[in-house]
Amino acid sequence: MPEQKKNTLKGVLPSKKQSRSNRSDGGNIKPHEATFNGIGTSRGIAIGECYAYEKEQYEHEITSLDNDNIEAEIERFIEAVHRSEKELKKIERVTTRKLGKGYANIFQAQIMMLQDPMLIDSISLRIRSEMIPAHLVIEEEFGHYHEKFKSSDDVVFQERADDFFDIKNRILRNLHVRKMLSWIPEGTIVVSDHFCPGDIILLSRSNVKGFLSDSGGKTSHISLICKSLNIPMVAGLGNFSQNAVSGTQMIIDGSSGTVIIHPEEKTIQLYQEKQKAEKQSNADASLTATLPASTKCGVRINFFSNIDFKEELLGLKETGSEGIGLFRSENLFIDGTKVPGESEQYHYYREMSETVAPQPFVVRLFDIGGDKLIYSPIREPNPNLGWRGIRILIDVPEILENQLRAVIRANALGNINILIPMITSLDEIMTICAMVDRLHAEVIEQTGVAGEKPELGAMIEVPAAVEIIDEITKCVDFISLGTNDLTQYTLAVDRNNVIVQDLFEKFHPAIIRQLHRVIATAQKNHCRVALCGDMGSDPLALPFLIGCGLRKFSVVSADIANLKRFVSRYSVAETEALALECIKLDSAQKIKACLETFQAEH
């Protein structure tokens, strides 16, 4: 077995000062094979050479200004902004060609930030009034917003933090009139401490085999882009990039999050066989992707898609998806600050509803919060446990009412359902129920027509919701299990914190027992139940969840074909016995061993 190390390369990789010959088999030093564990964010296996992607550091010659060079400095700043805008428009065009307009909207949001006159004016004013060089003002202004967004507990705003980081570095580089690095050696595995979405798009043109990042997680923009491009990625590697050396032979497994450096020949052969098996498995899965999924005893299992943009609807049926199980509507916040209006939302939802009809379309209400840049100047001591999700929507009713009215108006075909995020009490559900009833009546009165009243569901992602699950499932039409947040809040582990990432364990006995209890209670109360977290995409968890009684999964579209292939191997009776066995076990290790044994036997 390879030597196991975690999040450090000290003593394994040579320093960057060593020559490549010293790292090769022909040198005096023969490095040992070593294995590292990160977060697998985009599936696939890559075998190749490392390319250490280091972003250029700039020496800023100007440290102070006087009356003679203030205007020239402002002009230099504005020109850097214009060059940055041109770069982003180029990346946007490349993204549209590769992935469609949905992902191109990521860069449209950055372009809108650069076009914001308030941004230009505020930085220019500070340069002029405080006589501070442009680079210092840019660092301070963008650093301020980056930190506020990054500290948010809301994934959408965490991703917007990367936008600020990218824009800041882009402007600083253009202050020095330097070209962006967009071409690298063909067929390498690219390693960096941090990637921006633009990096992934541009570097992928060099037939990159894989990406490794010190930071990031499964829900980041860069991970979603890699999935769409079918490029393996491992994130959350801590300080891995600090000693990464271009030319080092390595293997990455985007499913398990495993990274192996200096692999021995037998290890390379092992992963080459895994590559072949994975390719064959994907080919087999694609043949049956569009067929209904049933257990070997004939019980139907439904698979729906989690999506972020309407452009993802293209080709949705070809993946085997049976509708939209989760639409993250907060992505309609174009730049993280502008709240979309009712009319804009209505047209967006109506188009999506018509595209997927008669299949269901579940709209999760704006799951925003943790960050106060939009609604409040107050900085909370712990935004993770603060004003977020349904709490914000109830406290800011104009935002909630606009969204609910838009959904109600768009539901002409009757296939739209509403999902409420971050539920912790029945009062929150009752408030939304009453509002939906009132607004539905108002729409009929004002327009003379209205579609069916959307069905209402609750996200189960907080331990409090688990404790009152009997009451919740008696007053909503359906529930959806958000296993990512449920695991995070139950185990008190930030899923985006690389320091404690090894403690984020979806197979922890507490999580397994909660899922079993929630699904059983929902069935008893004749309440539909689905699961929309990452756990639903894990083949290892699939038989356990079926055994708990789960029949509806909402996952990344690309995972559906593979999951359907596994379903036909199991009978419900076998999975029920497996579930009962798992909930009696007292450790994640024992539970995973039990699941692995079951999978090997089937």
Catalytic residues: 221, 532
Q: Left if phi > 0, otherwise alpha if psi is -120 to 50, otherwise beta: which for 563?
A: alpha
Q: How many CA atoms lie within 13 A of 480 on its CB side?
A: 31
Partners of residue 416 on adjacent β-strands: 361
Contact 417, 360 (CB under 8 A): yes
Q: Quick one: DSSP state of residue 117? A: H
CA distance linking residue 412 with residue 452, whole number of Å: 7
485 among annotated binding-site residues = yes
438 among annotated binding-site residues = no
Backbone phi, then psi, for 417, in 5-degree steps?
-115, 150
Partners of residue 458 on adjacent β-strands: 420, 479
Q: Is the peptide bond before 454 cis (omega within 30 degrees of 0)?
A: no
Backbone phi, then psi, for 295, in 5-degree steps?
-70, 170
CA distance linking residue 519 with residue 33, whole number of Å: 44
Contact 374, 431 (CB under 8 A): no
3-state secondary structure of 153: coil
Q: Whose structure tokens read 């992928």?
A: 204
CA distance linking residue 371 with residue 383, whole number of Å: 7
328 among annotated binding-site residues = yes
Backbone phi, then psi, for 418, in 5-degree steps?
-110, 130
3-state secondary structure of 87: helix
364 among annotated binding-site residues = yes
What the block records as the tokens of 342 is 């009712």
CA distance linking residue 167 with residue 435, whole number of Å: 40
Q: Which residues belong to the annotated binding site?
A: 328, 364, 461, 484-485, 495
Q: Which residues belong to the annotated binding site for phosphoenolpyruvate?
A: 328, 364, 484-485, 495
Q: Which residues belong to the annotated binding site for Mg(2+)?
A: 461, 485
